[in-house]
């Protein structure tokens, strides 16, 4: 779940929506380098280099998290879980992730977890789709 969460954040950064931490780091880098006798041209080049760093790091992290998720899914598929076990694991994962990430956990990450684990998002009770915290009310039962 953590890899999916970070993967979604990095994908958003690729699309131009920087996370708070990355935006602060980029600002810090831009403010940190102050050449003597500065001119707009040097400032432009420094900003350009820092923005390039930002894009490169983001792309590397997207690649890393994509690979990590694929390896984790490969390992999960070896367990041969039934529908009840899968739903139970998803609900527990969402509970733990919500507790850890709070409001930062996006609905998209939860949907992606359902998709990747091989469970249709809509095969789980619809209450879960109404809000990210809805999973706390859902206790999977054997049928």
What's the CA gap between 98 and 36, in Å, rounded?
A: 47
Task: Kindly report, residue by residue over 61-103, the tens digit of the pLDDT.
Answer: 999 999 998 888 888 777 777 778 878 888 888 899 889 888 8
What's the CA gap between 93 and 108, in Å, rounded?
A: 14
Annotated domain spans of the chain: 1-67, 79-143
In this prediction, residue 134 has a pLDDT band, given cuts at 50, 70 and 90, of very low
138: nearest Cα among 54, 25, 130: 130
Mean pLDDT of 114-129: 49
Q: Helices marked H in 15-131 — which ranges?
A: 20-32, 40-77, 83-101, 107-117, 127-130
Contacts of 32 (CB under 8 A, 6+ apart): none
Mean pLDDT of 105-130: 62
Residue the block writes with tokens 């890899």: 3
Whether 50 shows a pLDDT value over 70: the answer reads: yes
């Amino acid at each position: 779940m953590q890899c999916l969460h970070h993967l979604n954040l990095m994908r958003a950064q690729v699309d131009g929506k920087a996370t708070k931490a990355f935006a602060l780091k980029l600002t810090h880098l831009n403010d940190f380098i102050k050449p003597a006798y500065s001119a707009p041209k040097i400032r432009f080049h420094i900003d350009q280099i820092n923005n390039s760093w930002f894009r490169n790091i983001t792309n590397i992290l997207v690649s890393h998290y994509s690979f990590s998720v694929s390896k984790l899914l490969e390992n999960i598929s070896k367990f041969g879980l039934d529908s009840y076990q899968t739903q139970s694991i998803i609900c527990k994962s969402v509970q733990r992730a919500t507790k850890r990430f709070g409001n930062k956990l996006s609905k998209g990450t939860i949907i992606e977890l359902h998709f990747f684990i091989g469970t249709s998002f809509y095969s789980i009770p619809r209450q879960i789709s109404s809000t990210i915290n809805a999973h706390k009310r859902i206790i999977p039962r054997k049928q």
